[in-house]
Amino acid sequence: MKIKKLALLCIIVAIGGCCTCAPVDTKKGCACDKSSLNISPAGSEEPEMKTIGIIGGVSWVSSIEYYRLMNEIVREELGGLHSAKVLMYSIEFGEFSKQERLAEQGNWEMIRKTMIDAAQRLERGGADFIIIGSNTMNSTAEVIEANVNIPVLHIVDATGEKVKKSGMKTVALLGTKFTMEQDFYHGRLEKKFGLKVIIPNEAERKYINAVIFDELCAGKFYDKSREGYIRIINRLVKEEGAQGVILGCTEIPLLVKQEDVNVPVFDTTKIHAEAAVKYAIGSK
């Protein structure tokens, strides 16, 4: 009989677990409660990573670089198998380029509508903030931010901070004709960061712009074009006093590298990607 009782007791312990609850304290709960065992949810020690929303496809060539860089930077920052949480809406660039030409003529209605639509899709998809994968299209950042409820990280601000930290006061700016000529870029750098911004002359601007749209946006990278860009940079350094150069088009860093010139280059694609990751993981 004693053996049967002992066997029954073992069965009860096995079913109920090895922990027996102390009398219930309404404030503390059961002594077996997980909190009393210092068991915390997985990943609770680290703040949750924000989801980066990127408006890409302008062009897809540089959007690939954004994705690669953001994941590499997260891996460097957090180690292990960590990667970036990214949502991308990729605009169809063929149709978009037609809208860009209308914008150059003063009609911004279609291009703004496209950019706002892209941002709202990202917001609905769960993005916590937005970056625009194009220097030129950051000219629409303020109108986008007015039409969504999440922040937009401006590429000019990220670049201005980087240049300012370098201690430089005078920099050259290369980009599309629109980026080089309009106030949204060099004006923001000058007013917000106290920089002197030098832009190429008219013939140089036309050449830089043609290479961007006829070659770089199509994934074509020619030595002859690289040499042309380097000549322009060297002239701006020698004749205009540029201390460094902002590669203010997200495709240009795919053509011109730091080793190609003797002054510091500011790769806006990488700078923007770094700023996005830091914001996403809460790093300063």
Whether residue 136 is contained in a domain is answered as yes
> What pLDDT, on the 0 to 100 scale, is given for residue 45?
57
> What pLDDT, on the 0 to 100 scale, is given for residue 187?
97
For the segment 83-111, the average pLDDT, to the nearest whole number, is 87
Type of residue numbered 156: V
> What pLDDT, on the 0 to 100 scale, is given for residue 102?
79
Is residue 144 domain-shared with residue 277, that is, in the same domain?
yes
Burial class for 205, CB neighbours closer than 10 Å (0-12, 13-18, 19+):
buried
Whether residue 225 is contained in a domain is answered as yes
Whether residue 170 is contained in a domain is answered as yes
Is residue 276 domain-shared with residue 146, that is, in the same domain?
yes
Q: Whole domain around residue 68: which residue ranges?
A: 52-154+272-281
Is residue 161 domain-shared with residue 245, that is, in the same domain?
yes
CATH number of the structural domain spanning residue 230: 3.40.50.1860
Reading across the β-sheet that carries 265-267, which strands appear in turn? 196-198, 170-174, 244-247, 265-267
Whether residue 203 is contained in a domain is answered as yes
Is residue 80 domain-shared with residue 103, that is, in the same domain?
yes
**Higher pLDDT, residue 106 or 7:** 106
> pLDDT band at residue 99, thresholds of 50, 70 and 90?
confident
Is residue 233 domain-shared with residue 195, that is, in the same domain?
yes
Average pLDDT, the chain: 86
Q: Which residues contact residue 35 at a Cβ distance below 8 angstroms, ignoring those fewer than 6 apart?
A: 29
pLDDT over threshold 70, residue 117: yes
Is residue 118 domain-shared with residue 138, that is, in the same domain?
yes
Q: How many domains does the chain have?
A: 2
Whether residue 38 is contained in a domain is answered as no
Is residue 163 domain-shared with residue 258, that is, in the same domain?
yes
Q: CA 144, CA 151: separation in Å to the nearest integer?
A: 9
Is residue 145 domain-shared with residue 169, that is, in the same domain?
no
Whether residue 13 is contained in a domain is answered as no
Whether residue 14 is contained in a domain is answered as no
| Weakest mean pLDDT among 7-16, 46-55, 71-80, 240-249 | 7-16
Residue 219 in 3-state DSSP?
A: coil
Locate 220 and state its tokens.
């074509």
Is residue 145 domain-shared with residue 179, that is, in the same domain?
no
Is residue 160 domain-shared with residue 262, that is, in the same domain?
yes
Whether residue 67 is contained in a domain is answered as yes
> pLDDT band at residue 3, thresholds of 50, 70 and 90?
very low
Q: Which residues contact residue 213 at a Cβ distance below 8 angstroms, ignoring those fewer than 6 apart?
A: 97, 176
Is residue 79 domain-shared with residue 149, that is, in the same domain?
yes
Find, among 177, 241, 183, 178, the residue nearest to 209 by Cα.
Answer: 177
Strands 52-56 and 86-90: parallel
> pLDDT band at residue 29, thresholds of 50, 70 and 90?
very low
Is residue 210 domain-shared with residue 260, that is, in the same domain?
yes
